[in-house]
Amino acid sequence: MLWLLIAIAVILVCAAGVAYAGLYFYKVGVMRAPKVFMSNNPDLRSDPPVAGASWGEGQQWIAGQTIRNIELVSDDGLKLRGYWIASDRAEGRTAIVAHGYSGKGKDMGAYAKIYHDVLGFNVLIPDARGHGESEGGYIGFGWHDRRDYVRWIQRVIEETGPEAQIVLHGVSMGGATVLMTSGEELPPQVKAIVADCAYTSVAAELSYQLRRMYRLPSFPFLQSASLVSRIKAGYSFREASALRQVRSAKVPILFIHGDADTFVPFYMLDELYEACGSRKERLAMEGAGHGTSYDRDKAEYIRRIAGFIGLYTKALP
């Protein structure tokens, strides 16, 4: 009997520990809060450090633009903020640019500049739910955001008319967001998608980070945190899958990934590309770390984007 009581006590202690770990990892990874662990993550540093220059240039560019704030309400009642930068050369063409984890729309100035100044598009840069000026107490990792992006797409059509031509471009979590959006029923005005360093699924990415950052196996910690996310945020990590969504995609997709990326591992590029059910291209940027493909070779990055979206968009007569 004593041994049975000891065994039960051990099981209860272990269960309590796993439950606590689930709450902890939910708070660290999903709940809206400053992500201090990101600032010291070696996987987010490039060698040489190339990302800072274009980010600074993008911030200067954003500061010099005429920006109109626009808002919409999500299907679960959150007020979401976006930033509209019009182009007098757009002729109905608009890029919606999605930012990464713990960022905000105006962080995407370098990418917005490509579409606005080089390609002549209007640009919409939303703050994702749980980020920036948008409401929300948790990070959706692209899953709930996909429904938000369907609404942003409709908002662009309202702004520019039924002849709108829309490109979605996302980086990191933003890349996963636009891929998750690709599996939804999208209007014909969405012409192309560009996904830069996207992860295959939230479960796969967080499992990878548990091993890399904490030296922990995914089981049972990932499952515990996923259960907490299901209860508090309304989604599980496994259901939040870009890999599954791209199988249903009908919009052409350009996949970009740096082959030196150790934050969202490079092998996810091939998994996503192979799963994609629509017309597709891939660009593996040699020597680029996480989110630094543009910085590594700006001319090639722009050339490939322009060539790809040029196949599916055109200036109106």
On whether the CB atoms of residues 147 and 185 are closer than 8 A, the answer is no
CA dist., res. 48 & res. 53, Å (int)? 12
Q: Report domain 50-201+240-310's class.
A: alpha beta
Tokens found for residue 276: 């994609």
pTM of the model: 0.92
pLDDT the model gives residue 82: 99
Q: pLDDT tens across 91-138, in order?
A: 999 999 999 999 999 999 999 999 999 999 999 999 999 999 999 999
Q: What is the rounded average pLDDT of the residues 301-311?
A: 97
Residue 314 has what pLDDT? Answer: 82
- Assign 42 a pLDDT band (cuts: 50, 70, 90): low
Higher pLDDT, 229 or 29: 229
- Is the peptide bond between 48 and the residue preceding it cis, with omega within 30 degrees of 0? yes
HEC string of the chain? Answer: CHHHHHHHHHHHHHHHHHHHHHHHHHHHHCECCCCHHHHCCHHHCCCCCCHHHHHHHHHHHHHCCCCEEEEEECCCCCEEEEEEECCCCCCCEEEEEECCCCCCHHHHHHHHHHHHHHCCCEEEEECCCCCCCCCCCECCCCHHHHHHHHHHHHHHHHHHCCCCEEEEEEECHHHHHHHHHHCCCCCCCEEEEEEECCCCEHHHHHHHHHHHHHCCCCCCHHHHHHHHHHHHCCCCCCCCEHHHHHHCCCCCEEEEEECCCCCCCCHHHHHHHHHCCCCEEEEEECCCCCCCHHHHCHHHHHHHHHHHHHCCCCCCC
When pLDDT is averaged across residues 225-246 and rounded to a whole number, the result is 94
Whole-angstrom distance, CA of residue 59 vs CA of residue 57 = 5
Contacts 24+ apart (CB under 8 A), 214-223: 220/18, 221/18, 221/21, 221/22, 221/25, 222/25, 223/22
The model's pLDDT over 140-183, given as tens digits with 9 standing for 90+, comes to 999 999 999 999 999 999 999 999 999 999 999 999 999 999 99
- The answer on pLDDT for 49 being more than 60 is no
Confidence of residue 21 (pLDDT cuts 50, 70, 90): low
Q: Which of 51-55, 62-66, 103-107, 301-305 has the least mean pLDDT?
A: 51-55
Question: What is the mean predicted confidence (pLDDT) over 256-281?
Answer: 98
Beta carbons within 8 Å of 133's beta carbon, 6+ residues apart: 81, 104, 127
- Give span(s): CATH 3.40.50.1820, the chain: 50-201+240-310
> pLDDT tens digit string along 286-304?
999 999 999 999 999 999 9
Measured distance CA(172)–CA(304) in Å, rounded? 18
